[in-house]
């Protein structure tokens, strides 16, 4: 994590929300955890487009902001589980709403993106 050079206005709920779960993979990670993929390696396997490193980094931020909790057991295979806190769970409805919206409009969006590709 690092501090930004340009200070942010966090007077707007929208900006705060994005601050917490607006990263490229954060929502996907929360979704994965919610679907039972609670360990880093599991999350990674469930979304191989992200690297393990980025998953670790985002988990660290989610942990910092109290969205997830971390439980480590010293057994083999080394077991670390990340679970949603109540704060994390409170994000789930938003998550599913965005997912629903995106799924509903995916055809349209993809069409537009394809146009862009054809131009370049």
Partner DNA sequence: GCAATAACCGATAAAAGATTCGGTATTCAT
Partner DNA sequence: ATGAATACCGAATCTTTTATCGGTTATTGC
**Interface positions with a second copy (CB under 8 A):** 1, 3, 9-10, 12-20, 22, 24, 27-28, 31, 49, 64-66, 87, 90-91, 93-95, 97-106, 108-110, 112-113, 116-117, 120
Q: Token pair of 31, please?
A: 């979704």
Minimum distance of DNA from residue 91's CB (angstroms): 16
Whether residue 68 contacts residue 62, with contact meaning beta carbons closer than 8 Å, is answered with: yes
Residue 90 Cα distances to 24, 28, 66, angstroms: 19, 15, 12
Whether residue 53 contacts residue 41, with contact meaning beta carbons closer than 8 Å, is answered with: no
Residues lying near DNA in the complex (CB under 7 A): 2, 4-6, 23-25, 39-42, 49-54, 56-60, 70, 72, 74-80
Whether residue 59 contacts residue 82, with contact meaning beta carbons closer than 8 Å, is answered with: yes
Whether residue 26 contacts residue 58, with contact meaning beta carbons closer than 8 Å, is answered with: yes
Minimum distance of DNA from residue 107's CB (angstroms): 21
By beta-carbon proximity to a second copy, the closer residue of 79 and 110 is 110
Q: With CB cut-offs between 5 and 8 Å by kind, which of a second copy, DNA, none does residue 103 bind?
A: a second copy
């Amino acid at each position: 994590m690092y501090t930004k050079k340009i200070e942010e206005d966090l007077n707007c709920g929208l900006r705060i929300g994005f601050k917490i779960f607006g990263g490229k993979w954060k929502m996907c990670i929360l979704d994965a955890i919610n679907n039972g993929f609670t360990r880093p390696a599991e999350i990674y396997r469930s979304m191989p487009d992200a690297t393990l490193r980025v998953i670790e980094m985002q988990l660290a931020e989610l942990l910092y902001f109290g969205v997830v909790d971390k439980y480590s057991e010293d057994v083999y295979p080394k077991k670390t589980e990340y679970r949603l806190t109540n704060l994390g769970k409170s994000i789930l409805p938003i998550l599913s709403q965005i997912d629903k919206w995106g799924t509903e409009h995916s055809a349209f969006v993809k069409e537009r993106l394809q146009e862009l590709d054809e131009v370049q």
